[in-house]
Protein backbone atom coordinates (compact mmCIF):
# COMPACT_ATOMS: atom_id res chain seq x y z
CA UNK A 1 0.00 0.00 0.00
CA UNK A 2 1.38 3.38 -0.95
CA UNK A 3 1.87 6.29 1.43
CA UNK A 4 0.05 9.50 0.65
CA UNK A 5 1.76 11.86 -1.77
CA UNK A 6 1.85 15.54 -0.81
CA UNK A 7 0.80 18.00 -3.53
CA UNK A 8 -0.27 21.62 -3.55
CA UNK A 9 -3.61 23.18 -4.51
CA UNK A 10 -2.54 26.80 -4.84
CA UNK A 11 -0.73 27.35 -1.54
CA UNK A 12 -2.72 24.65 0.28
CA UNK A 13 -0.77 21.38 0.84
CA UNK A 14 -2.85 18.21 0.56
CA UNK A 15 -2.17 14.48 0.40
CA UNK A 16 -3.64 12.14 -2.16
CA UNK A 17 -3.78 8.40 -2.97
CA UNK A 18 -4.14 5.84 -0.17
CA UNK A 19 -4.15 6.10 3.62
CA UNK A 20 -2.46 3.59 5.87
CA UNK A 21 -4.54 2.31 8.82
CA UNK A 22 -4.09 4.50 11.88
CA UNK A 23 -2.38 7.27 9.93
CA UNK A 24 -3.39 10.85 9.26
CA UNK A 25 -5.23 11.01 5.93
CA UNK A 26 -5.94 14.29 4.20
CA UNK A 27 -7.39 14.69 0.74
CA UNK A 28 -8.05 17.99 -0.96
CA UNK A 29 -10.78 19.35 -3.16
CA UNK A 30 -10.34 22.52 -5.20
CA UNK A 31 -12.75 23.78 -7.84
CA UNK A 32 -13.11 27.45 -8.75
CA UNK A 33 -13.65 29.38 -5.47
CA UNK A 34 -13.93 26.25 -3.34
CA UNK A 35 -10.75 25.05 -1.58
CA UNK A 36 -11.18 22.50 1.19
CA UNK A 37 -9.83 19.28 2.64
CA UNK A 38 -11.22 16.18 4.31
CA UNK A 39 -9.27 15.03 7.37
CA UNK A 40 -9.41 11.56 8.92
CA UNK A 41 -7.20 9.84 11.45
CA UNK A 42 -7.16 7.00 13.95
CA UNK A 43 -4.74 5.96 16.70
CA UNK A 44 -0.98 5.48 16.55
CA UNK A 45 -0.13 8.88 15.14
CA UNK A 46 3.14 10.76 15.67
CA UNK A 47 3.19 13.13 18.64
CA UNK A 48 2.89 16.15 16.37
CA UNK A 49 1.98 16.73 12.76
CA UNK A 50 3.99 19.09 10.53
CA UNK A 51 3.67 22.83 10.92
CA UNK A 52 0.29 24.16 9.87
CA UNK A 53 0.15 25.25 6.17
CA UNK A 54 1.33 28.80 5.48
CA UNK A 55 -0.59 31.08 3.14
CA UNK A 56 0.24 34.09 1.00
CA UNK A 57 -2.67 36.05 2.45
CA UNK A 58 -4.98 36.20 5.44
CA UNK A 59 -7.03 33.02 5.46
CA UNK A 60 -9.80 31.76 7.69
CA UNK A 61 -10.76 28.13 8.07
CA UNK A 62 -14.29 26.83 8.64
CA UNK A 63 -13.97 23.32 10.06
CA UNK A 64 -17.00 21.04 10.47
CA UNK A 65 -16.65 17.85 12.51
CA UNK A 66 -18.35 14.65 11.41
CA UNK A 67 -17.27 12.85 14.63
CA UNK A 68 -16.74 13.90 18.24
CA UNK A 69 -13.09 14.93 18.37
CA UNK A 70 -10.44 16.82 20.27
CA UNK A 71 -7.16 18.49 19.36
CA UNK A 72 -4.59 20.87 20.85
CA UNK A 73 -3.98 24.16 19.04
CA UNK A 74 -0.77 26.14 19.57
CA UNK A 75 -1.04 29.94 19.25
CA UNK A 76 1.78 32.29 20.26
CA UNK A 77 3.50 29.52 22.17
CA UNK A 78 0.39 28.65 24.21
CA UNK A 79 -1.51 25.37 23.83
CA UNK A 80 -5.28 25.21 24.11
CA UNK A 81 -7.32 22.02 24.04
CA UNK A 82 -10.45 22.23 21.87
CA UNK A 83 -13.17 19.56 21.86
CA UNK A 84 -15.86 19.46 19.17
CA UNK A 85 -19.04 17.44 18.99
CA UNK A 86 -20.16 15.86 15.74
CA UNK A 87 -21.76 18.55 13.60
CA UNK A 88 -20.03 21.40 15.42
CA UNK A 89 -18.01 24.04 13.55
CA UNK A 90 -14.72 25.64 14.53
CA UNK A 91 -13.60 28.95 13.04
CA UNK A 92 -9.84 29.46 12.82
CA UNK A 93 -7.67 32.37 11.71
CA UNK A 94 -4.82 30.42 10.12
CA UNK A 95 -1.95 32.97 10.34
CA UNK A 96 -2.24 32.76 14.15
CA UNK A 97 -1.91 28.96 14.24
CA UNK A 98 1.57 27.46 14.57
CA UNK A 99 0.49 23.82 14.57
CA UNK A 100 -2.30 21.48 15.68
CA UNK A 101 -1.56 18.40 17.79
CA UNK A 102 -3.48 15.37 16.51
CA UNK A 103 -1.88 12.94 18.96
CA UNK A 104 -5.04 12.50 21.04
CA UNK A 105 -6.07 8.85 20.40
CA UNK A 106 -9.60 9.48 19.17
CA UNK A 107 -10.94 9.01 15.64
CA UNK A 108 -11.20 12.23 13.69
CA UNK A 109 -13.27 13.02 10.62
CA UNK A 110 -14.26 16.41 9.29
CA UNK A 111 -13.73 18.93 6.54
CA UNK A 112 -11.89 22.25 6.57
CA UNK A 113 -12.97 24.98 4.11
CA UNK A 114 -10.75 27.99 3.41
CA UNK A 115 -11.99 31.58 3.23
CA UNK A 116 -9.24 33.77 1.82
CA UNK A 117 -8.97 37.51 2.26
CA UNK A 118 -9.35 38.01 -1.50
CA UNK A 119 -12.63 36.07 -1.48
CA UNK A 120 -13.96 38.12 1.45
CA UNK A 121 -13.07 41.22 -0.56
CA UNK A 122 -14.98 39.81 -3.53
CA UNK A 123 -18.06 39.23 -1.35
CA UNK A 124 -18.02 42.82 -0.07
CA UNK A 125 -17.46 44.18 -3.56
CA UNK A 126 -20.31 42.13 -5.01
CA UNK A 127 -22.71 43.25 -2.27
CA UNK A 128 -21.42 46.85 -2.48
CA UNK A 129 -20.69 47.04 1.25
CA UNK A 130 -17.61 47.93 3.36
CA UNK A 131 -14.76 45.43 3.67
CA UNK A 132 -15.18 42.39 5.92
CA UNK A 133 -12.36 42.67 8.44
CA UNK A 134 -12.77 39.49 10.47
CA UNK A 135 -14.54 36.15 10.82
CA UNK A 136 -15.09 34.89 14.36
CA UNK A 137 -14.35 36.58 17.66
CA UNK A 138 -11.51 34.29 18.72
CA UNK A 139 -9.23 31.71 17.12
CA UNK A 140 -11.02 28.87 18.95
CA UNK A 141 -14.63 29.89 18.43
CA UNK A 142 -17.06 26.97 18.21
CA UNK A 143 -20.53 27.09 16.74
CA UNK A 144 -23.54 24.77 16.70
CA UNK A 145 -24.52 26.01 13.28
CA UNK A 146 -26.95 23.99 11.11
CA UNK A 147 -26.09 26.09 8.04
CA UNK A 148 -22.38 25.19 8.14
CA UNK A 149 -23.33 21.55 8.82
CA UNK A 150 -25.73 21.48 5.86
CA UNK A 151 -23.16 22.97 3.48
CA UNK A 152 -20.45 20.59 4.71
CA UNK A 153 -22.64 17.58 3.93
CA UNK A 154 -23.36 19.01 0.47
CA UNK A 155 -19.62 19.24 -0.19
CA UNK A 156 -18.64 15.88 1.33
CA UNK A 157 -19.71 13.53 -1.54
CA UNK A 158 -17.46 15.35 -4.02
CA UNK A 159 -14.30 14.14 -2.27
CA UNK A 160 -15.11 10.70 -3.72
CA UNK A 161 -15.95 12.08 -7.18
CA UNK A 162 -14.19 15.45 -7.64
CA UNK A 163 -14.63 15.39 -11.43
CA UNK A 164 -18.41 15.48 -10.97
CA UNK A 165 -18.24 18.84 -9.17
CA UNK A 166 -19.27 21.56 -11.62
CA UNK A 167 -17.36 24.85 -11.10
CA UNK A 168 -20.62 26.82 -11.05
CA UNK A 169 -22.04 24.54 -8.35
CA UNK A 170 -18.80 24.88 -6.38
CA UNK A 171 -19.04 28.67 -6.57
CA UNK A 172 -22.62 28.66 -5.29
CA UNK A 173 -21.57 26.47 -2.36
CA UNK A 174 -18.66 28.76 -1.57
CA UNK A 175 -20.66 31.98 -1.85
CA UNK A 176 -23.34 30.54 0.42
CA UNK A 177 -20.75 29.57 3.02
CA UNK A 178 -18.78 32.81 2.72
CA UNK A 179 -21.81 35.07 3.03
CA UNK A 180 -23.18 33.11 5.99
CA UNK A 181 -19.82 33.19 7.79
CA UNK A 182 -19.38 36.90 7.11
CA UNK A 183 -22.92 37.86 8.13
CA UNK A 184 -23.22 35.77 11.29
CA UNK A 185 -19.61 35.59 12.53
CA UNK A 186 -17.99 38.57 10.83
CA UNK A 187 -18.83 42.23 10.33
CA UNK A 188 -20.67 42.04 7.01
CA UNK A 189 -23.14 44.89 6.67
CA UNK A 190 -25.79 45.32 4.03
CA UNK A 191 -27.48 48.08 2.13
CA UNK A 192 -30.91 48.93 3.51
CA UNK A 193 -33.48 46.77 1.68
CA UNK A 194 -36.88 47.99 0.59
CA UNK A 195 -39.59 47.55 3.22
CA UNK A 196 -40.33 43.91 3.94
CA UNK A 197 -37.64 42.57 1.59
CA UNK A 198 -34.57 40.44 2.20
CA UNK A 199 -31.30 42.23 2.86
CA UNK A 200 -28.66 42.18 0.13
CA UNK A 201 -26.76 39.28 1.67
CA UNK A 202 -29.92 37.31 2.49
CA UNK A 203 -31.15 37.51 -1.10
CA UNK A 204 -27.79 36.48 -2.53
CA UNK A 205 -27.47 33.65 0.00
CA UNK A 206 -31.00 32.36 -0.65
CA UNK A 207 -30.43 32.29 -4.40
CA UNK A 208 -27.10 30.47 -4.05
CA UNK A 209 -28.60 27.86 -1.72
CA UNK A 210 -31.50 27.28 -4.13
CA UNK A 211 -28.97 26.86 -6.95
CA UNK A 212 -27.14 24.07 -5.11
CA UNK A 213 -30.49 22.46 -4.23
CA UNK A 214 -31.87 22.00 -7.75
CA UNK A 215 -31.47 18.23 -7.41
CA UNK A 216 -33.22 17.03 -4.28
CA UNK A 217 -34.79 20.39 -3.51
CA UNK A 218 -34.87 22.18 -0.18
CA UNK A 219 -37.60 22.85 2.36
CA UNK A 220 -38.87 26.35 3.00
CA UNK A 221 -37.99 26.14 6.69
CA UNK A 222 -34.40 25.12 5.92
CA UNK A 223 -34.05 27.93 3.38
CA UNK A 224 -35.41 30.42 5.93
CA UNK A 225 -32.91 29.11 8.49
CA UNK A 226 -30.01 29.89 6.14
CA UNK A 227 -31.15 33.52 6.18
CA UNK A 228 -31.82 33.62 9.92
CA UNK A 229 -35.55 34.26 9.48
CA UNK A 230 -38.83 32.62 10.47
CA UNK A 231 -40.40 30.58 7.69
CA UNK A 232 -43.35 32.88 7.03
CA UNK A 233 -41.14 35.97 7.33
CA UNK A 234 -38.70 34.56 4.79
CA UNK A 235 -41.41 33.52 2.31
CA UNK A 236 -42.89 37.02 2.34
CA UNK A 237 -39.52 38.78 2.13
CA UNK A 238 -38.32 36.57 -0.73
CA UNK A 239 -41.40 37.38 -2.81
CA UNK A 240 -40.99 41.11 -2.09
CA UNK A 241 -37.35 40.93 -3.20
CA UNK A 242 -37.73 38.75 -6.30
CA UNK A 243 -41.39 39.08 -7.30
CA UNK A 244 -41.97 35.33 -7.05
CA UNK A 245 -42.34 32.73 -4.30
CA UNK A 246 -39.30 30.54 -3.42
CA UNK A 247 -40.79 27.45 -5.09
CA UNK A 248 -41.40 29.46 -8.28
CA UNK A 249 -37.79 30.67 -8.25
CA UNK A 250 -36.63 27.07 -7.83
CA UNK A 251 -38.73 25.99 -10.83
CA UNK A 252 -37.32 28.81 -12.95
CA UNK A 253 -33.74 27.86 -12.05
CA UNK A 254 -34.43 24.21 -12.92
CA UNK A 255 -35.73 25.30 -16.31
CA UNK A 256 -32.64 27.47 -16.82
CA UNK A 257 -30.45 24.44 -16.02
CA UNK A 258 -32.45 22.32 -18.47
CA UNK A 259 -32.03 24.95 -21.20
CA UNK A 260 -28.25 24.96 -20.71
CA UNK A 261 -28.17 21.20 -21.16
CA UNK A 262 -30.61 21.18 -24.09
CA UNK A 263 -28.03 23.06 -26.14
CA UNK A 264 -26.01 19.82 -26.19
CA UNK A 265 -26.93 16.26 -27.05
CA UNK A 266 -27.75 14.92 -23.58
CA UNK A 267 -30.94 12.85 -23.49
CA UNK A 268 -34.12 14.36 -22.08
CA UNK A 269 -34.20 11.72 -19.34
CA UNK A 270 -30.69 12.68 -18.17
CA UNK A 271 -31.48 16.40 -18.39
CA UNK A 272 -34.59 15.96 -16.25
CA UNK A 273 -32.57 14.08 -13.63
CA UNK A 274 -29.67 16.58 -13.60
CA UNK A 275 -32.07 19.55 -13.39
CA UNK A 276 -33.95 18.26 -10.37
CA UNK A 277 -37.21 17.17 -12.01
CA UNK A 278 -38.90 13.96 -10.86
CA UNK A 279 -38.75 12.51 -14.39
CA UNK A 280 -38.97 13.50 -18.07
CA UNK A 281 -42.75 13.98 -18.01
CA UNK A 282 -42.47 16.26 -14.98
CA UNK A 283 -39.86 18.35 -16.79
CA UNK A 284 -42.00 18.52 -19.92
CA UNK A 285 -45.04 19.66 -17.95
CA UNK A 286 -43.21 22.43 -16.03
CA UNK A 287 -41.12 23.46 -19.05
CA UNK A 288 -44.21 23.73 -21.29
CA UNK A 289 -46.08 25.77 -18.69
CA UNK A 290 -43.24 28.25 -18.18
CA UNK A 291 -41.71 28.39 -21.69
CA UNK A 292 -44.74 27.72 -23.87
CA UNK A 293 -43.29 24.72 -25.68
CA UNK A 294 -41.88 21.27 -24.87
CA UNK A 295 -38.15 20.71 -24.22
CA UNK A 296 -37.87 18.65 -27.43
CA UNK A 297 -39.40 21.38 -29.60
CA UNK A 298 -37.33 24.05 -27.85
CA UNK A 299 -34.17 22.08 -28.66
CA UNK A 300 -35.27 21.55 -32.29
CA UNK A 301 -35.80 25.30 -32.72
CA UNK A 302 -32.15 25.92 -31.79
CA UNK A 303 -31.03 24.42 -35.11
- Cβ contact 162:217 at 8 Å: no
Distant-in-sequence, close-in-space partners of 5: CB < 8 Å, separation ≥ 6: 15, 16, 17
Within a 10 A sphere around the Cβ of 22, how many other Cβ atoms?
12
Q: Which fold has domain 257-300?
A: Arc Repressor Mutant, subunit A (1.10.10)
Q: Which of 114, 112, 110 is nearest to 65 (CA)?
A: 110
DSSP letter, residue 164: G
Q: Which fold has domain 5-172?
A: Jelly Rolls (2.60.120)
Q: What is the pLDDT of residues 154-173, one digit of tens each?
A: 999 998 888 888 888 899 99
Q: What's the CA gap between 252 and 257, in Å, rounded?
A: 9
What value, to the nearest 5°, has the Cα angle with vertex 169 and ends 164 and 173? 120
Q: What is the pLDDT of residues 99-155, one digit of tens each?
A: 665 555 567 788 999 999 999 999 999 888 899 998 886 656 788 999 999 999 999
Q: Residue 105: what pLDDT?
A: 54
Q: What is the pLDDT of residues 253-299, one digit of tens each?
A: 999 999 999 998 999 999 999 999 989 999 999 999 999 999 999 99
The domains of the chain are located at 5-172, 191-243, 257-300
Q: What's the CA gap between 158 and 34, in Å, rounded?
A: 11
- Cβ contact 56:10 at 8 Å: no
Q: Residue 96: what pLDDT?
A: 75
- 241 Cα distance to chain centroid: 24
Q: Residue 238: what pLDDT?
A: 95
- 135 Cα distance to chain centroid: 16
Amino acid sequence: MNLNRIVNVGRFPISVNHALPGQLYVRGLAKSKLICSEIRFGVGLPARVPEFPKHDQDTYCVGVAFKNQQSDIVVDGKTSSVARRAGQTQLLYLPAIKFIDFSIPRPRHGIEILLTRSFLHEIAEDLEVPEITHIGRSFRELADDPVFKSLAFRIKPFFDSPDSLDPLYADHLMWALGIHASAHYGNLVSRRPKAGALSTWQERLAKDVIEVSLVGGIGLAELANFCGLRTSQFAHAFKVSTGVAPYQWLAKRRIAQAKRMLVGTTSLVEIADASGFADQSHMTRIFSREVGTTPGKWRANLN
